[in-house]
Amino acid sequence: MKSAKKVVLAAIILPLTLGAASAFAFGGKDHHKGPRGECSQGMERGVMRQLNLTDAQKDKLKEMRKANKADMKANYAEHHQARKAERQAHHAKMQALLLADNFDEAAANDLAKVMVDKQTERRVKMMEKKHQMLSVLTPEQKVKFVELQKERQQECGEKMQKRMQKHHNS
């Protein structure tokens, strides 16, 4: 194997390996359970409970969640095999790119752009759904939502900092 190829492979594999090892080490014994409590993803739900929603607003939000869940299930069932094939093709392209004798920067850029486009598409859809749900709120509730969210983010940041210090000191 050429030394340049070894360097490229080492530059790619080493951060991935170390990143995975540190992620497992940081996670502790329950690392597979993910974030819990107030600081987990989707903390808006806890904030929404503090907004004194009317029964009509609660019903509307419940309908939206139910519709989103049904859409996700239908979309999953309908497109599962196609997405699986797409992931496998993407993985094969990446493997071919990484294991080639010469690094093809143009192909790497194209592959990275496809990944970014997919992620952007998912994020836009998620933002659209959040917008729809937040549009149920009154202007006063929106102001309160922002305040509560800022408080929650600050608390979560402090908790994360304490966990990082605890982990760093041990």
The answer to whether position 115 is within a domain reads yes
Within a domain: residue 143? yes
What average pLDDT does the segment 146-162 reach? Answer: 87
Joined together, the tokens standing for residue 97 give 């790119």
Per-residue b or e along 144-157, where b marks 16 or more CB atoms closer than 10 Å to that residue's CB = bbeebeeebeeebe
In this predicted structure, which of 7-16, 52-61, 67-76, 84-93 has the lowest mean pLDDT? 7-16
- Model pTM score: 0.58
Q: Is residue 71 part of a domain?
A: yes
Domain shared by 160 and 122, yes or no = no
145 within domain boundaries: yes
Q: pLDDT, tens digit, for every residue of 103-118?
A: 999 999 999 999 999 9
In the prediction, which pLDDT does 166 show? 82
What is the CA angle 64-69-75, rounded to 5?
125
Cβ-based neighbour number of residue 103 at 10 Å: 13
Is residue 44 assigned to a domain? Answer: no
Residues 70 and 102 in one domain: yes
Q: CA-CA distance, 2 to 102, in Å (whole number)? A: 10
Residues 64, 131 within the same domain: yes
Mean pLDDT of 11-29: 52
Instruction: Please tell me whether residues 130 and 145 are part of one structural domain.
Output: no
User: Contact 94/111 with Cβ under 8 angstroms?
Assistant: yes
Let me know if residue 13 belongs to a domain.
no
Host domain of residue 166:
139-170
Tell me, yes or no, whether 68 lies in a domain: yes
Same domain for 121 and 144, yes or no, is no
Domain tally for the chain?
Answer: 2
Say if CB 115 and CB 122 are below 8 A apart. no
Question: 128 and 158 share a domain?
Answer: no
Distance CA(166)–CA(119), nearest Å, equals: 33
Contacts 24+ apart (CB under 8 A), 10-13: 12/98
pLDDT at position 31: 45
Cα(105)–Cα(97) distance, rounded to whole angstroms?
9
pLDDT, residue 26, reads: 47
Amino acid at 89: A
Asked whether 134 and 142 are in contact (CB, 8 A), the reply is yes
**Per-residue confidence (pLDDT) for residue 14, from 0 to 100:** 52
Task: Determine, yes or no, domain membership for 30.
Answer: no
Task: Give the mean model confidence (pLDDT) for residues 150-168.
Answer: 85
Verify that 147 and 80 share a domain, yes or no.
Answer: no
Q: Are residues 119 and 95 in the same domain?
A: yes
Q: How confident is the model at residue 63, as a pLDDT?
A: 93
Q: Do 71 and 86 fall within a single domain?
A: yes
